[in-house]
Amino acid sequence: MRLPWPAVVGGSLVVALGAAGLIRGAMPQSAASGPAPSPGSVVVTGAYVRAPVPPTQSAAAYFVVYNTTAHDDRLQRVVTGAGATAVLHTEVNGQMTATGSGVVIPAHGSLVLSTGNGHVMIEHLFGPLTAGQDVNIELDFQIAGPINVTAPVIAVGAPAPTGGSVPNPADSSTSAPSGAHS
Ligand SMILES: [Cu+2]
């Protein structure tokens, strides 16, 4: 019985392709012999929003982005239903800085937004944010496109959810970043 492959090249090659085809059929995404290992993706985990201290009109969102693809990508825009604007702030030379053109996440690299590393500052909140609520955040990547995450609101002083993200001992104890800068 012949496998339905377009057996164009040589006889020995047809055998090899047939075997690879069977393997691929049983285990999609296996590192059989394709040019790219697997499509890969950009994954966002551990998202949460720190509840703002009452007079503050902004809140900080944290998450971790894993770029499992073989190419760099750029987080170029953040949109949220919780506030009018969302600005990406990352620490550059010890200073929280708004990143106008986004942040590049290198191939097989990650971007960790945690206390002291950076955050998305949600400004002009549409309403009060209290612990237990969920905030929808859309992260727009240059290549991966939009990725939507649901970020629970965590009370001031409560420990950050781990969510499989990189442990950060400073995360739960340091002063709240809310309103620390514009
Ligand atoms: Cu900020």
Kindly report which listed range (15-24, 52-61, 128-137, 143-152) carries the lowest average pLDDT score.
Answer: 15-24
Number of domain units in the chain: 2
Give CA–CA dist 47/62, Å, rounded.
Answer: 5
Report whether pLDDT(77) > 70.
yes
Q: Are residues 60 and 147 in the same domain?
A: yes
Q: How far is the CA of 177 from the centre of ligand 1 (A)?
A: 7
Element at 16 (helix H, strand E):
helix 11-26
Q: How far is the CA of 55 from the centre of ligand 1 (A)?
A: 16
Rounded average pLDDT over 114-121? 92
Q: Are residues 64 and 133 in the same domain?
A: yes
Read off the amino acid at residue 157. G
Element at 150 (helix H, strand E):
strand 145-154
Q: Are residues 81 and 28 in the same domain?
A: no
Q: Are residues 111 and 127 in the same domain?
A: yes
Give CA–CA dist 162/115, Å, rounded.
Answer: 13
Q: How far is the CA of 181 from the centre of ligand 1 (A)?
A: 6
